[in-house]
Amino acid sequence: MDVLELARTQFAVTGSLHFLFVVLTLGLAPIVALMHTRHVISGSALHGGMTRFWGQIYVVNYALGIVTGLVMEFQFGLSWSGLSDYAGGVFGAPLAMETLVAFFLESTFLGLWIFGWGRLPKWLHLACIWLVTLTAYASAFFIMVANSFLQNPAGSVLRDGRLELVDFGALLTNKTLVFSFPHVIGAGLLTGGLVLAGASAYQLRRRTRESVFFDRSLRMGVGVASVGAFLALGFGYAQFGGVQEGKFDGSTGAAVPLGFMIEIGQLLAFVLLFILLPLIYWLPRWRWTHVVLMLMTPVPFALAILGWMAREIGRQPWMVWQKLTVADALTPGLTSGMVTASLIGFAGVLGLLAVVDYVLIARIVRRGPRDLDLGAVPAGARPAPAMTF
């Protein structure tokens, strides 16, 4: 492989691995926030336990996903400095907003939520997890703004050989953004819901003692996944209206993952909306459905990667559509050895983080909602007095 193909492969591998974390984060955040809301309103110990159990899985996935996101930022300087030089004045603006939102606001509110159990007033503590959810979605929005600019460079003009931002509103209302962002939200809800349902099905099939706990979780997971499937499918088709003319012409590399994503996605949506959702109250009792839900759990992760492949490969050979080619965006002076070394290093680290993530999540699921670390009071210690205004 030449330098260009190696650099493209590196970004594809690291981007795909990173998105595995992101799509689960986007799905679990609102689920945990809804559980916490029901706990605060009702005072139910069951919903409190559900919040802590699924919240602990969310925290593990978020913490490891942050590290994979840092690698994505590095590559713009290492491999694609031509993009930064040509379009950094436009492309860098939403990335800067994403960094501020994700690393400052989202991380701050998540820290307050993690360490605020028993210390913050309950309504303020609840507000923290909702702010985590909102900032997570804002982070995803700005990433989609940046990516949509590459698909359709709206709001910019070419001056002195560089793109300059002249209309920030056009950037935020890009035709390739308005339907693709809700599509990503749907994909996240589909993923989070099926992880919830699949993990609960695993515990119920083992005839767990916490049957009520996982009954509720399974039903909620199927409900959320059904909403996600409806959004992902509807907005997935709608976003074809914003696709640039000629984007998929002769692009077999994009057509194959796109075809698989559409066919598998339609089948998954059909099973959820027309088979499992109508039977939602009987699912915890029917053991055959537990196997089905466990087998369905990894499917949305695969669909998410197929969707990104179709979106990115279809744009080739352009980095910025009809403005800057991928070859021109490549950093000058790179050698095959340099990119190969970084590819092995990045893929190895991110792959290891992905394995660690799923091993830790599987361990939490297998252990069940006993002896949770999130929100626990150390043995022999008194709960800290709640902060007041």
pTM of this structure: 0.93
Does 275 fall in a domain?
yes
Task: Output the pLDDT for position 73.
Answer: 77
Does 388 fall in a domain?
no
Give 170: exposed, middle or buried? Use CB within 10 Å, 0-12, 13-18, 19+: middle
Task: Output the pLDDT for position 293.
Answer: 96
Does 294 fall in a domain?
yes
Does 232 fall in a domain?
yes
Does 375 fall in a domain?
no
Task: Output the pLDDT for position 385.
Answer: 57
Is residue 218 within 8 A of residue 196, CB to CB? The reply is: yes
* Residue ranges of the chain whose pLDDT lies below 50: 381, 389
Does 324 fall in a domain?
yes
| Domain assignment of residue 241, given as a range | 3-156+168-367
Does 279 fall in a domain?
yes
Q: Across the strands, what pairs with 163?
A: 158
CA distance 162 to 335: 26
Give 275: exposed, middle or buried? Use CB within 10 Å, 0-12, 13-18, 19+: exposed
Total domains in the chain come to 1
Q: Among residues 215, 235, 228, 214, which one has the least CA distance to residue 273?
A: 228
Does 331 fall in a domain?
yes
What token pair was written down for 295? Answer: 């087998």
Task: Output the pLDDT for position 377.
Answer: 65
Q: Tokens 């919830």 appear where?
A: 196
Task: Output the pLDDT for position 389.
Answer: 46
